[in-house]
Amino acid sequence: ISPPPATEEAAAALAAELRPVVRGLARAYYTDGQSLVGDTQYDRLFGALRDLEAAHPALRTPDSPTHRVGGAPLDRFEKVRHPVPLLSLGNAFDADDLRAWYERVLKGLDGVLDEGERPALAAELKIDGLALALTYEDGVLVRAATRGNGRVGEDVTPNVRTVRALPLRLADTPPARVEVRGEAYMRRSTFEALNERLAEAGEKPLANPRNGAVGSLRQLDPTVTAGRGLDFWAYGVGPAEGDLPARHSAVLDAVASWGVPVSPERAVFDDVEAAVQFCQAWAGRRDSLDYEIDGVVVKVDRLDYQGVLGQVATAPRWAVAFKFPAREATTRLLDIEHNV
Ligand code: NAD
């Protein structure tokens, strides 16, 4: 915000104005899959509120949308408590933000790193869909839950069982119990074909593939989900009983060996500059994919280092989302026109 509010009263008034706006936009986005404004605009409003709260600690109300992850789980589904919360991610909007994040990582690992050691980074595409936690027991899918508010999600197991991209039974030798985390998404081509079908049937078209993925999964009738051709990319593992590799990138290799789709568009770098180049290259190539990405997620590869770094209120310190600039305004105008 510039200029920043001069008095406590002015800051309080601005926060009181921002809070319901951010809360309303977040509810539409997470609960209904609707983007009422562009992501950049949302990030700016959210950032303004967060900065105000940082500068004026008295404004940090416990119900502020800045303390929350995602949206409330819908009542029409059984609620599921996540044993380990599904968090949000901190953002980097340019190369310098990413370098600054890496500096904080180095500081956080002070005393742990060897002299001159630069911790390796894993970089993956940030898929624009919705997060799912899939629990496999003895290799069998027993539960699928949405992220919801991070602590409590919705049980969408019958719907996820219809997603062909996902194995109902894991291959190879998975741990006795493991929660695979990843993003359910809709391919652009699937989305376009679906909208044609909806138009022919005289139904309202979906606004964008993310909206298509959210809407297709949160159906009370799983046969509707089955016809929607959803896809999935795994990006991590939650709680597990059994042995797992010591590096995030190797964990993803293991998940792929169990038969769960893992995007091949990922890499490990031994320093931040190479990760910066990966992010910038993908910012210019995002349209070459058949699915939507809104950035690149960069993670400290060693899991023991991740443990040392820990998390802040709603996001891990060991990962950051490098966000791409928003798409042209026309897409957003269309979104608003379709009331999504
Ligand atoms: P986030 O989406 O920025 O990051 C966390 C999520 O990223 C995870 O839950 C996971 O679902 C996803 N993800 C995708 N690929 C991943 C990977 N490879 N590794 C790890 N995670 C991966 O955080 P958030 O809190 O869900 O959402 C915040 C963002 O959502 C904002 O930055 C904003 O752009 C957007 N948003 C927009 C509006 C709007 O009105 N336009 C409203 C709310 C939120």
Residue 126 beta carbon below 6 angstroms from any ligand 1 atom = yes
pLDDT averaged over 10-residue windows placed end to end, the chain, 340 residues:
80 93 91 85 92 90 84 86 96 97 98 96 97 97 95 95 95 95 97 94 91 91 91 97 96 98 97 97 96 97 98 94 76 41
322 exposure class (CB count in 10 Å sphere: 0-12, 13-18, 19+): buried
Distance CA 327, CA 333 (A): 11
Pick from 291, 287, 283: nearest CA to 322: 283
The correct answer on CATH 3.30.470.30 for the domain covering 79-337 is yes
Determine the pLDDT at residue 86: 96
Distance CA 139, CA 162 (A): 17
Pick from 84, 210, 66: nearest CA to 147: 84
Residue nearest to atom 20 of ligand 1 (CA): 235
Catalytic residues, which ones? 126
Residue 127 beta carbon below 6 angstroms from any ligand 1 atom = yes
Q: How far apart are the first and last CA of the chain?
A: 27
CATH of domain 8-67: 1.10.287.610
- 205 in helix, strand or coil? coil
**Inter-residue contact 310 to 317 (CB < 8 Å):** yes
Domain boundaries, the chain: 8-67, 79-337
DSSP state at residue 184: E
Distance CA 237, CA 239 (A): 7
Atom of ligand 1 nearest to the CA of 30: 43
Residue 124 beta carbon below 6 angstroms from any ligand 1 atom = yes
Distance CA 231, CA 235 (A): 13
Q: Which two tokens stand for residue 305?
A: 């280092």
Q: 3-state SS of 34-57?
A: CCCCCHHHHHHHHHHHHHHHHHCH
Distance CA 300, CA 123 (A): 9
Distance CA 40, CA 91 (A): 11
Alpha carbon of 129 to ligand 1 centroid (Å): 9
Strand-pair partners of 92: 322
Determine the pLDDT at residue 332: 45
Alpha carbon of 41 to ligand 1 centroid (Å): 14
* Range list of β-strands (E), the chain: 79-81, 91-92, 121-127, 130-137, 140-146, 152-154, 177-185, 231-241, 266-269, 293-300, 319-323
pTM: 0.91
Residue 36 beta carbon below 6 angstroms from any ligand 1 atom = yes
Determine the pLDDT at residue 142: 97
- The verdict on whether residue 181 carries a ligand-binding annotation is no
CA 256 to chain centre: 19
Distance CA 106, CA 99 (A): 11
